[in-house]
């Protein structure tokens, strides 16, 4: 049997040891790698977002109801004839300002003056007859019955004169109030029957501003409430509510509102568009930056604010008035820490780190 040299044995032993070392090391490192692969990473702590807040205190603020309106004449009347006849004169120019009682159309007098003269002559005769009858009755030559009959005839003659005077006056078609003779319906030579129009008269002082309010705002308006109307020209009119409808328009479900405003020089015309603000009392409100207003998931407008526990809350609000300093809103209660920076990146119930806005 062939004997192996001792030097060879030593080399073989060393090679076997090195091989065993690599085999055992590979198995150990593989198991460790598998363990590391199946081990889940430790979760990181969620960061708390930072927001800036502004303390908004509850204050008493006047409530305003905003609506679109238009100017209108307080009265529009078609002035009509009370008798028949041809138009003899038309002294009022179309579009002119007329005073109360001014003649707009004058009919031909025709026989009316003669009728009045005849009635006056009959009255004079009856007066003389009644005086003579009274003198005879005083001397006992006239019975009381005859005296009463003569007095009745005198009264009838006086009534005839009054009737003839009215008939003569009816040829003058007069303005029933001061205003603008806006449209002429009859010219000189036109024949008018009783009830036919001479023209249209409109009253512009006071002037009306008419608008419609939704059913949610109608109960807040009161007759006599102060109101302002801003015209498209930039002019502002001040007045008071004179009428709020009790019955809604069946199609729009809105209520008619009329505001009376002075217009002494008749400078403002009817039919102009206006933006109207009506005072509706006062109540609690908060002044918040306009940028703080957001919409929630349901599309409702409101503000996000920080409540106890540094949690975010959302409250719907109604804008009462917008000013250069911010928006006055209703719907909040007490002093509220309104989020002014970061409000769009937080949700209701989320914990935040709030700092006071500068």
Q: What is the pLDDT of residues 168-179, one digit of tens each?
A: 999 999 999 999
Residue 156: CB atoms within 10 A of its CB come to: 12
In a domain, 33, yes or no: no
Inform me whether the pLDDT recorded for 210 exceeds 60. Answer: yes
- Of 281, 308, 337, which residue sits at a domain end? 281
Q: Are residues 183 and 210 in the same domain?
A: no
Q: Are residues 167 and 113 in the same domain?
A: yes
Tell me the pLDDT tens digit for each residue of 4-42.
Answer: 555 565 566 666 666 666 655 555 555 554 545 455 555
Alpha helices in 39-143 (DSSP H): 112-139
pLDDT (average), residues 59-79: 93
Q: How far apart are CA 236 and CA 268, in angstroms?
A: 11
Inform me whether the pLDDT recorded for 223 exceeds 70. Answer: yes
Q: Are residues 155 and 253 in the same domain?
A: no
Tell me the pLDDT tens digit for each residue of 101-116.
Answer: 999 999 999 888 899 9
Alpha helices in 42-143 (DSSP H): 112-139
Q: Are residues 113 and 178 in the same domain?
A: yes
Q: Are residues 117 and 167 in the same domain?
A: yes
Task: Look at 18-32, 145-159, 323-337 and tell me which has the smallest mean pLDDT.
Answer: 18-32
Q: Are residues 336 and 223 in the same domain?
A: no
Q: Which domain holds residue 245?
A: 66-72+203-281
Tell me the pLDDT tens digit for each residue of 247-295.
Answer: 999 999 999 999 999 999 999 999 999 999 999 888 899 999 999 999 9
With bands split at pLDDT 50, 70 and 90, how would you rate the model's confidence at 2? very low
Inform me whether the pLDDT recorded for 209 exceeds 90. Answer: yes
Inform me whether the pLDDT recorded for 183 exceeds 80. Answer: yes
Q: Are residues 91 and 172 in the same domain?
A: yes
Q: Are residues 81 and 132 in the same domain?
A: yes
Q: Answer whether the bond into residue 357 is a cis peptide, omega within 30°.
A: no
In a domain, 275, yes or no: yes
Domain count, the chain: 3
Q: How far apart are CA 34 and CA 30, in angstroms?
A: 6
- Of 175, 198, 221, which residue sits at a domain end? 198
Q: What whole-number percentage of the chain has pLDDT above 70?
A: 87
pLDDT of amino acid 239: 96
Q: Are residues 309 and 236 in the same domain?
A: no
Residue 322, domain CATH: 2.40.420.20
With bands split at pLDDT 50, 70 and 90, how would you rate the model's confidence at 155? very high
Helix-strand-coil split of the chain, %, nearest 5: 25, 40, 30
Among 357, 315, 308, which residue's Cα sits nearest to residue 333? 315
In a domain, 115, yes or no: yes
Q: Are residues 163 and 104 in the same domain?
A: yes
Residue 272, domain CATH: 2.40.30.170
In a domain, 2, yes or no: no
Q: How far apart are CA 22 and CA 298, in angstroms?
A: 66
Q: Are residues 249 and 182 in the same domain?
A: no
pLDDT of amino acid 18: 61
In a domain, 98, yes or no: yes
Residue 90, domain CATH: 2.40.50.100
pTM of the model: 0.65
- Of 198, 230, 247, which residue sits at a domain end? 198
């Amino acid at each position: 049997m062939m004997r192996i040299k001792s030097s060879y044995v030593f080399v073989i032993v060393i090679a076997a040891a090195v091989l065993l070392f690599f085999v055992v090391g590979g198995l150990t490192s593989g198991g460790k790698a598998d363990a590391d692969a199946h081990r889940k990473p430790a979760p990181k702590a969620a960061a708390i977002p930072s927001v800036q807040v502004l303390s908004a205190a509850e204050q008493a603020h006047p409530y305003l109801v905003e609506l679109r309106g238009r100017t209108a004449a307080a009265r529009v009347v078609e002035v009509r004839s009370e008798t028949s006849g041809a138009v003899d004169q038309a002294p009022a120019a179309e579009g002119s300002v007329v005073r109360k009682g001014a003649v707009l159309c004058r009919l031909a007098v025709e026989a009316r003056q003669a009728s009045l003269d005849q009635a006056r002559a009959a009255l004079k005769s009856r007066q003389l007859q009644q005086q003579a009858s009274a003198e005879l009755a005083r001397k006992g030559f006239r019975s009381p019955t005859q005296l009463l009959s003569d007095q009745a005839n005198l009264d009838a003659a006086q009534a005839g004169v009054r009737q003839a005077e009215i008939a003569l006056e009816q040829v003058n078609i007069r303005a029933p109030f001061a205003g603008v003779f806006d449209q002429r319906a009859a010219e000189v030579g036109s024949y008018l029957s009783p009830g036919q129009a001479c023209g249209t008269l409109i009253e512009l002082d006071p002037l009306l501003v008419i608008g419609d309010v939704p059913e949610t705002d109608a109960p807040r308006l009161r007759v006599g409430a102060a109101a302002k109307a801003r015209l498209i020209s930039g002019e502002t009119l001040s007045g008071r509510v004179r009428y709020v409808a009790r019955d809604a328009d069946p199609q729009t479900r809105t209520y008619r509102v009329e505001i009376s405003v002075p217009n002494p020089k008749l400078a403002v015309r009817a039919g102009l568009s206006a933006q109207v603000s009506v005072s509706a009392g006062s109540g609690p409100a908060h002044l918040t930056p306009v940028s703080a207003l957001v919409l929630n998931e349901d599309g409702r407008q409101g503000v996000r604010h920080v409540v106890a526990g540094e949690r975010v809350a959302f409250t719907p609000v109604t804008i009462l008035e917008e000013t250069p300093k911010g928006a006055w809103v209703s719907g909040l209660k007490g002093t509220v820490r309104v989020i002014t920076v970061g409000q769009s990146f937080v949700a209701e119930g989320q914990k935040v780190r709030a700092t006071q806005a500068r």
